[in-house]
Amino acid sequence: MYISKSFIPILKNNPSEAKIKSHQLMLRVGMIKQSSSGIYSWLPLGLKVMKKIEQIVRHEQDKIGAQEILMPTIQSSDIWKESGRYEDYGDEMLRIKDRQNREMLYGPTNEELVTDIFRTSVKSYKSLPQLLYHIQWKFRDEIRPRFGIMRCREFFMKDAYSFDISDEDAIFSYNKFFLSYLKTFKRLELVAIPMAADTGPIGGNLSHEFIILADTGESKIFTDKRIFDLEYDDTKLEKKSLENLRKKYEQFYSVTDEKFNEKEFEKKVDAPYRLKTKGIEVGHIFYFSDKYSKPMNAAVDLPGGKKDFVKMGSYGIGVSRLVGAIIEAKYDEKNEVMKWPISVAPYDISIIPLTNKNDNSSLDKANKIFLELKKNDIDAIIDDTDENISAKIKKMSLIGAPFQIIIGKNSDDDFLEFKEVGKEMKKINLLEIIKIIKKQKEKN
Amino acid sequence: MYISKSFIPILKNNPSEAKIKSHQLMLRVGMIKQSSSGIYSWLPLGLKVMKKIEQIVRHEQDKIGAQEILMPTIQSSDIWKESGRYEDYGDEMLRIKDRQNREMLYGPTNEELVTDIFRTSVKSYKSLPQLLYHIQWKFRDEIRPRFGIMRCREFFMKDAYSFDISDEDAIFSYNKFFLSYLKTFKRLELVAIPMAADTGPIGGNLSHEFIILADTGESKIFTDKRIFDLEYDDTKLEKKSLENLRKKYEQFYSVTDEKFNEKEFEKKVDAPYRLKTKGIEVGHIFYFSDKYSKPMNAAVDLPGGKKDFVKMGSYGIGVSRLVGAIIEAKYDEKNEVMKWPISVAPYDISIIPLTNKNDNSSLDKANKIFLELKKNDIDAIIDDTDENISAKIKKMSLIGAPFQIIIGKNSDDDFLEFKEVGKEMKKINLLEIIKIIKKQKEKN
């Protein structure tokens, strides 16, 4: 694919309206375009990244046995009246009247709708546990949308819901998502720390936010630095093993703003380990038992013949927000260099030929290399514009494909100028380049 | 995967509210669940089919060089006022006021929004043609939603838009989609006939609907039977070749209701070739030149230094509706047998063991076969419920995986009872079964 044919509207300078680096970069390289306040279109570059993130999130959900469904964006107010949240939710809920004057709304979250699906479908404890998830657009009518897709109104989210017969089983489900989230964020090369958190409008008494550190984050966090060194690799998808994982994390003080208590922090964390900083929330899990199943009458038959309300939890990951979160974590703003994790990069590699009106030889070489890479499932983009090489390198470093091949006048097939973004240039042949990229891709 | 663990809420009988067979089957086997009037949730079985259709649609768009973007569902009324359609669109448009009292709407189509994206991004003829598409939820507030997902309010649609500098180039783009649509529907094993159609609220003077024949369809069609025998296999993605393809189709009379003229029909079509029947619209393409680019001032620099408004077309495929359309075409309602094209089947094969409380041997065999199939990328489901074999076969024939393996007491590894749905039972070994299924899958 040539960059001249791609729909990648690149801006010369940082747009003045963007205050944080993810917003700047996403507008600068044409990943998104604002369509109205807090609402964005995703252009090809941004969509490619988001789709890859979505796929990783989906894969990690499937691995814990969650099943994918897809609920609609527009819901009836009836079920929200049943649960009692219709009035409570306030102005962030986008309320709509349809042509028949029925009260509808654009779903900000889906506890009610999934409970309704469950109660009409599942009647017996024998069908439990059920873990259901969907990846769908949500709308929250933020009073002051800001920071691009980080705090916008229409956003793309994975939300999952668990249904169990007992608190004990329900906590087992909760812990499965706890592990799954750690794995998901690691595959995105993010260090996300689970923190005890308030449950807010979702409700319940057990909740963790998953937060990545970032100066531009809107969450204040208070944590014991040792939590960053924890590993989960030996954890199995079994009750006991998952319990131990939670305990391992919970031995370290780690809370968000609302849960923070200075005295407790000082008592539990020795001075050298104390960390007060800011972060970005990328995931949030909740356990709320029968908060929705009881008012909505979602009960199943128990072994003895009695019935009981199912115990539920919910589990969210901000898929569109993760695009921004990765940029906040990886973008070197000063040098204007972005390097995407290869698992979500818009392209694996950029090919940068010297272009010359009277001489197509570099471009021809680029085309040949492109085809060879394609055969090996490596997704490349060729910068065929007539800018000079250093301008192209700069642009491609902003777009952020993790590797580059530069083809000048004297480029030799056996010694291509190859560069991993942020590292030194090397001269190696195409076969070696393919090997390096394939190895990187397999890691994920 | 066991059916007992899957979220597939099957009904014993046909639901009385469903009037056409796709609606019946989709509720019966738990592919969808209505959440409110004309709004549905997609359960795992339905979502799997829809995602596979989406992937085929996407693939065929990519093949003609269209680039994927993703526009939001909620739009500002401003751009619709610019184009002049805000008042015209009527009550089918879901109009919304946000918390700031701004007039918003849930996009029923995206000509305005994509024109806005184009005009701020593309300035020169050098970047043309541009073909952009997205696959996104739309909302049309039907006064009388009916027939399940066939005429619902919230639906999933692929819509593409082309931008060119001249009418001639624009028709070239139009013809690319014409071919692409024939190919897309063929991959879904549907015979979709392009018919001259009215342009309705989209506008323009050239338009084709793609329609599949079905008694339950809501479109009346009038056509020359010989159009069914046409082939497009020798068509190349080149101007002349595509023009010839259009001519080949247009030599036969083939129109929808609004364009129908009895005298013309009788004059152009000899009696034995006349066909008056009903069908389902699955795609619709439009050419409308500068209808939107002119009022919205989407112009590019031309070679000579002048500017001109771009010439546009739009191209829709109803992705969610196609799930229903395939059922209408393939479901044998009388015998209660559905056979999905393997390209979109929820599972490739179902494994049906005899289950017995005191004897796990059939289930064990089923598990072994499942793993062997999985190794070969064949997606199977095991019916581990304690129903009898004939009830299971019946249920699995409704779900519609195109192949079945039945494992009874005397099943022998070398001679498994294997059945292609709708055909005779055979006794063959697993290796042969794998070969048959792989061959079928490769065709697509």
Domain-wise residue ranges, chain A: 21-330, 349-442
ipTM of the complex: 0.96
Tell the residue number behind the tokens 């046409």, with chain if given: B230
Question: Are the beta carbons of B106 and A137 separated by less than 8 Å?
Answer: no
Q: What is the pLDDT of residue A266?
A: 95
Q: What does DSSP say about strands A380-382 and A349-353: parallel, antiparallel, or unpaired?
A: parallel
SS3 label, residue A146: strand
User: Residues A103, A77: contact at Cβ < 8 Å?
Assistant: yes
**Confidence tier at A376 by pLDDT (50, 70, 90):** very high
Q: What is the pLDDT of residue B257?
A: 87
Question: Are the beta carbons of B9 and A35 separated by less than 8 Å?
Answer: no
Give the class (CATH, top level) of B21-330.
alpha beta
| Residue B358 neighbours by CB distance under 10 Å | 4
**Distance in Å from the first CA to the final CA of chain B:** 24
Extended strands (E) in B290-331: 299-301, 307-309, 311-318
Report field, pTM of the whole predicted structure over 0.95? yes
User: Which one-letter amino acid corresponds to residue B34?
Assistant: Q
Radius of gyration of chain B (CA): 24
- How close does chain A come to B273, measured CA to CA in Å? 44
Question: Are the beta carbons of B113 and A72 separated by less than 8 Å?
Answer: no
Those residues with Cβ within 8 angstroms of residue B311's Cβ, 6 or more apart along the chain or in another chain: B163, B164, B165, B166, B167, B169, B170, B289, B290, B293
Question: Are the beta carbons of B99 and A69 separated by less than 8 Å?
Answer: no
Containing A149, the helix (H) or strand (E) segment is none
Task: Identify which of A170, A164, A202, A165 has the alpha carbon closest to the alpha carbon of residue A291.
Answer: A202
**Confidence tier at A233 by pLDDT (50, 70, 90):** confident
Mutant choice from B43, B52, B81, B144 vs A, greatest count of A C-beta within 10 A:
B43
Q: What's the rounded mean pLDDT across residues A324-330?
A: 96
**Confidence tier at A1 by pLDDT (50, 70, 90):** confident
Give the tens place of pLDDT for each residue, A261-296: 999 999 999 999 999 999 999 999 999 999 999 999
- How close does chain A come to B62, measured CA to CA in Å? 12
pLDDT at A444 over 90: no
Task: Identify which of B315, B326, B45 has the alpha carbon closest to the alpha carbon of residue B185.
Answer: B326
Mutant choice from B64, B70, B133 vs A, greatest count of A C-beta within 10 A:
B70
Residue of chain B whose Cα is closest to the Cα of A97: B96
* CA-to-CA separations, B33 to A115, A160, A309, A312, in angstroms, rounded: 13, 18, 21, 20
User: Residues A119, A132: contact at Cβ < 8 Å?
Assistant: no
What does residue A248 show for φ and ψ, rounded to 5 degrees? -60, -40
User: Which residues of B are less than 8 Å from A161 in CB distance?
Assistant: none
Q: Is the dihedral of CA A236, A242, A243, A246 positive or negative?
A: positive
pLDDT at A7 over 90: yes
Question: Are the beta carbons of A72 and B154 separated by less than 8 Å?
Answer: yes
Question: Are the beta carbons of A40 and B72 separated by less than 8 Å?
Answer: yes
DSSP state of B347: -
- How close does chain A come to B389, measured CA to CA in Å? 21
User: Which residues of A are less than 8 Å from B41 in CB distance?
Assistant: 69-72, 113, 117
Among A37-51, A55-69, B224-238, which is the least confidently predicted range?
A: B224-238
| The CATH homologous superfamily of the domain defined by A349-442 | Anticodon-binding domain (3.40.50.800)
Residue of chain A whose Cα is closest to the Cα of B113: A35
Report, as ranges of residue numbers, the positions in chain B whose pLDDT lies below 70.
444
Q: What is the pLDDT of residue A202?
A: 77
Question: Are the beta carbons of B117 and A73 separated by less than 8 Å?
Answer: no
Those residues with Cβ within 8 angstroms of residue B63's Cβ, 6 or more apart along the chain or in another chain: B180, B183
Question: Are the beta carbons of A73 and B71 separated by less than 8 Å?
Answer: no
pLDDT at A165 over 80: yes
User: Residues A41, A35: contact at Cβ < 8 Å?
Assistant: yes
User: Which one-letter amino acid corresponds to residue B273?
Assistant: Y
Task: Identify which of A281, A366, A320, A331 has the alpha carbon closest to the alpha carbon of residue A29.
Answer: A331
Mutant choice from B53, B98, B384 vs A, greatest count of A C-beta within 10 A:
B98
Most confident stretch, A414-418, A439-443, B103-107: B103-107
- Which of B7, B76, B139 is the closest to A35 by Cβ? B76
User: Which one-letter amino acid corresponds to residue A210?
Assistant: F
Question: Are the beta carbons of B36 and A71 separated by less than 8 Å?
Answer: no
* CA-to-CA separations, B36 to A161, A349, B161, B164, in angstroms, rounded: 21, 47, 31, 41
What does residue B209 show for φ and ψ, rounded to 5 degrees? -95, 145
- How close does chain B come to A262, measured CA to CA in Å? 37
Q: Which two tokens stand for residue A349?
A: 């590699």
Those residues with Cβ within 8 angstroms of residue A391's Cβ, 6 or more apart along the chain or in another chain: none
Question: Are the beta carbons of A143 and B36 separated by less than 8 Å?
Answer: no
Q: What is the pLDDT of residue A37?
A: 96
User: Which residues of B are less than 8 Å from A127 in CB distance?
Assistant: 4-5
Q: DSSP string covering A284-333, please?
A: EEEEEETTTTTTTT-EEE-TTS-EEEPEEEEEEEEHHHHHHHHHHHH-BT
- How close does chain B come to A413, measured CA to CA in Å? 30
Question: Are the beta carbons of A68 and B76 separated by less than 8 Å?
Answer: no
pLDDT at A223 over 80: yes
Q: What is the pLDDT of residue A38?
A: 97
Residue of chain B whose Cα is closest to the Cα of A152: B72
Among A209-218, A233-242, A341-350, which is the least confidently predicted range?
A: A209-218
Whole-angstrom Cα distance, residue B335 to residue B333? 6
Question: Are the beta carbons of B104 and A43 separated by less than 8 Å?
Answer: no
The neighbouring-strand residues paired with B410 are none
Q: Tell me if A21-330 shares its fold with A349-442.
A: no
Q: What does DSSP say about strands B403-407 and B349-353: parallel, antiparallel, or unpaired?
A: parallel
Q: Which two tokens stand for residue B126?
A: 């050098």
Q: DSSP string covering B175-212, please?
A: HHHHHHHHHHHHHTT--EEEEE---GGG--SEEEEEEE
